[in-house]
Amino acid sequence: MQQNDKTINSLSLLYLEDSPLDYEIISEFLSETDLNIEMDRAETREEFVSALQNKKYDIILADFNLPGFDGFGALEEAGRITPETPFICVSGSIGEETAIELIRKGAVDYVLKDHPDRLPLVVKRALEEAREKRARKEAELQLKLLSRSIEQGPVSIVITNAKGDIEYTNPKFTEITGYEFAEVKGKNPSILQSGKYTKEYYKNMWETILSGEVFVAEMVNKKKNGEFFWELTIISAVLDNQGEITHFVSVMQDITETKKLWDELVQAKERAEESDRLKSAFLANISHEIRTPMNGILGFMGLLKESDLANEIKNQYIDLVNVSGHRLLHTVNDLVEISKIEAGQMKVEFSSVSMDDTMNFLYQFFQKEAADKGLELTMTNGLKANEKIVRTDKKKLESIFINLLNNALKFTPEGSVHFDVSLLGDQLEFSVRDTGIGIPEDRMSTIFDRFVQADLSYSKAYEGSGLGLSIAKAYIDMLEGKIWVDSKPGRGTAFYFSIPYVKADPSQNEEETEFREVKSKKSKSGIILVAEDDVISFSFLKHLLNKAGYQLLGATNGKDTVQVCKEHPEISLILMDIKMPGMNGLEATKHIRKFNKEVPIIAQTAYAMEGDHEMVLKAGCNDYISKPIAKLTLLEKIEQLLKN
């Protein structure tokens, strides 16, 4: 039938008949029945095929004998175009054998033209059979679709009988749990229980589904291999026509990855909130670490202006200004270092390093500070003579030790601090141990994190940026080492770190002495142009260079620097500040190099970031020095360039 709600009293019929008289007789007979028929006629094969291709019919009637075309041909065309439409042969004379062959090939029945009274009954029966056939086919298709959906579905499906014994599992169940159907058939789904839920929990589950309600929960279950997994479980009862439970069906979706992602998102949110809190504490601490020494510097500099100060008091004030300046510089250096690390601008530079020299330098560097606090500082070098020259990054190794020793001395009010080095297999192992206040257990896992140190409960009692340990940890990572800590509150702390041991050739020691003295000369000569827009910095350089015997010219911006250089070809060297108003130092250098390629130029900058050295050399400078400027380093660079 063309539509599911169409009844047998409204039919669309195609009649293949070449005899107008026979067509009129059959048409007249059918019109007198209770069948409401709209009948079309086709006389030839071409008309028959065209009609079937352009319209959907409920019934096909066909004469058997047609010119060049018979009932078998008509049945074949109908089967090709519309196989579900009932086909009835209507003929004046047809033998029994022919009729049987037609039915065998797909016709539903045949009617002789001299007995048309059978036709309404045959039509009705054909329509009913066609309807039932379509209903069965649709049901089969639905069952196949349902079966395929269950078999190929993305969720695990388990069906049990009323007792709870497993009767069916789909392939997804096997994929998730590892159990084949044969292993669980007839068993209870409790084989998946993880042991993480009480008997009361499962009792409530059964009460829910036995009452006719649907049980929905996120559960942890256990796979065949013992691995735990999360799943969203939906269990409901299957009822028969009398409302009795015959089966239970459980649909389970593996949500393990979803739960992991959710947990990670929650943890990330918590970490972000903690990070914001700690950054706020860090900024407050940094503000304190900058303002406190600045207060000392400005305060005592104001007192130094008093004319009636005794020399002894004046020297004390100068010492305090110097201490505050070093404290401020240490804070700034920490911020610069952590900025370089954050930006990925730190590089490892290997050289041959004497562990004897390094350990002795550290001991001498911190010995006075330890003595001033009344602490005993001791050192042990456990390396053999042929093991003491190693290949590593000298500056980073010293920086690691300096940060750890600074911490040890800072947080040790009394007792001792000890540091050592030894060779364990292919690793150099170092330690810094103290008898100080120790680290609370709940902070042990975070002390190397940036910004965390500023939040320690005792941090406000001690000066410092709180970045030392994170800097040390970053340097140890760069050297492919590791660091760990052992601490007991009130009893002291021991930091350990190790780096790969690479033995160096002692005959090729590349290490240079860090603290160099400039050999003094009885007389110096030369005119130095200082390009510097900061008045205080210029005053410092003027005092330093005049005392060293040099004459000075000054400029406060790049444009003036270029002009002064043109007007004074006798200038021996230019000390060029990079950041100046208008034309900056690099642009000024490029202009100067157009007319003077010989005069040495030393770039000076407060940035001190990775890549500055290459940048200034590319612009045409001969060397580079970072602020705050070290007197000995500057004088040595000047002398070296003026010699060449």
Structural domains of the chain ordered from first start: 10-145 (3.40.50.2300), 154-254 (3.30.450.20), 277-342 (1.10.287.130), 351-508 (3.30.565.10), 527-643 (3.40.50.2300)
**What is the Cα Rg of the chain in Å?**
49
Confidence category of residue 537, pLDDT binned at 50, 70, 90? confident
What distance in Å separates the CA atoms of residue 544 and residue 572, rounded to the nearest whole number? 17
pTM: 0.41
Q: How would residue 499 be classed by pLDDT, with cut points 50, 70 and 90?
A: very high
- Reduce the secondary structure of 348-403 to three states and give it as a string: CCCEEEEHHHHHHHHHHHHHHHHHHCCCEEEEEECCCHHHCEEEECHHHHHHHHHH
pLDDT number for residue 521: 35
Minimum mean pLDDT among 151-165, 191-205, 461-475, 524-538: which range?
461-475
| Cα 125 to the center of its chain, rounded Å | 69
In whole angstroms, give the CA distance from residue 434 to residue 550. Answer: 49
What are all long-range contacts of 25-31, with beta carbons under 8 Å and residues at least 24 apart? 25/113, 25/116, 26/61, 26/90, 26/113, 26/116, 26/119, 29/116, 29/119, 30/119, 30/120
Q: Please name which of 61, 65, 74, 75 lies closest in space to residue 12, comparing C-alpha atoms.
A: 61
pLDDT of 32 reads 76
State whether residue 643 is helix, strand or coil. Answer: helix
Sign of CA dihedral 614, 617, 622, 624: negative
Instruction: Count other Cβ atoms within 10 Å, centred on residue 314.
Output: 14
Residues with Cβ within 8 Å of 494's Cβ and at least 6 positions away in sequence, in order, are: 431, 432, 433, 434, 485, 486, 487
Rounded to 5°, the CA angle 401-271-277 comes to: 80
Neighbours of 133 (CB within 10 A): 12
Average pLDDT over residues 353-360: 91
- Reply yes or no on whether the pLDDT at 246 is more than 70: yes
pLDDT at residue 484, rounded to an integer: 94
Q: What is the mean pLDDT of residues 374-402?
A: 91
Reduce the secondary structure of 606-624 to three states and give it as a string: CCCCCCHHHHHHHHCCCEE
DSSP string, 287-352: HHHHHHHHHHHHHHHHHHT-TT--HHHHHHHHHHHHHHHHHHHHHHHHHHHHHHHHTT------EE
Q: Of 88-97, 157-166, 517-526, where does the model show the most confidence?
A: 157-166
Given this model, what pLDDT does residue 523 score? 35
Q: Which residue has the higher pLDDT, 591 or 288?
A: 591
Query: Token match 């409920």: residue?
Result: 58
**E strands present in 43-104:** 59-62, 65-66, 69-70, 87-91
Three-state DSSP at 533 gives coil
CA–CA separation, 243 and 238 (whole Å): 9
Q: Closest by alpha carbon to 431, among 420, 422, 416, 439?
A: 420
Query: Average pLDDT in the 219-241 region?
Result: 90
pLDDT at residue number 301: 80
Which residues have CB under 8 Å from 452's CB, separation 6+?
278, 443, 446, 466, 470
> pLDDT band for position 40 (50/70/90)?
very high
Residues 302, 307, 309, 310, CA torsion sign: positive
For residue 453, pLDDT beyond 60: no
Average pLDDT, the chain: 83
Give the alpha-carbon dihedral of 189, 195, 199, 203, to 10 degrees. Answer: -40
% of the chain surpassing 90 pLDDT: 34
SS3 518: coil
Question: What number is the average pLDDT over the span 91-97?
Answer: 78
CB of 454 closer than 8 Å to CB of 415: no
Mean pLDDT in residue range 623-630: 82
Report pLDDT digits (tens) over 100-130. Answer: 888 889 898 888 887 888 888 888 888 888 8
What percent of the chain shows pLDDT beyond 70?
Answer: 85
- State mean pLDDT over 306-310: 78
Q: Which helix (H) or strand (E) holds 10?
A: strand 10-16
- Taking only the tens place, the pLDDT of each residue in 268-277 is 888 777 767 6
Determine whether 244 is exposed, middle or buried from the number of CB atoms within 10 Å of its CB (0-12, 13-18, 19+): exposed
Quick one: pLDDT at residue 515? 30
Q: How far apart are the first and last CA of the chain?
A: 108
Residue 458 clears pLDDT 50, i.e. is over it:
no
User: Of 24-38, 71-85, 440-454, 625-639, which gets the smallest average pLDDT?
Assistant: 440-454
DSSP codes of every residue in 553-609:
EEESSHHHHHHHHHH-TT--EEEEES--SSS-HHHHHHHHHHH-SSS-EEEEES---
* CA–CA gap between residue 400 and residue 412 (Å, rounded): 18
Residue where the block lists tokens 């540091």: 419
607 confidence band (pLDDT: 50, 70, 90): low
Torsion of CA 40, 43, 45, 49, to 10 degrees: -10
Bridging pattern class, strands 416-424 and 427-434: antiparallel
Phi-psi region of 526 (alpha: psi -120 to 50; beta: other; left: phi over 0): left
Among 304-308, 376-380, 484-488, 597-601, the least confident range: 304-308
Q: Which two tokens stand for residue 493?
A: 């702390």
Which of 55-64, 342-351, 475-484, 628-637 is the least confident region? Answer: 342-351
| 10: nearest Cα among 43, 41, 50, 39 | 39
pLDDT at res. 157: 87
Q: Name the β-bridge partners of 110.
A: 89
| HSE-up (13 A, CA, CB side) for residue 168 | 12
Rounded Cα distance, 600 and 615, in Å: 16
- Report the pLDDT value the prediction gives residue 283, as an integer from 0 to 100: 66
Look at the chain and count its residues.
Answer: 644
Average pLDDT over residues 310-338: 74
CA distance 641 to 598: 11
Looking at residue 461, its pLDDT comes to: 44
Report whether pLDDT(552) > 70.
yes
Report how far apart, in Å, the C-alpha atoms of 433 and of each of 408, 420, 422, 500 are. Answer: 7, 9, 14, 21
Q: What is the dihedral of CA 358, 362, 364, 369, to 10 degrees?
A: 170
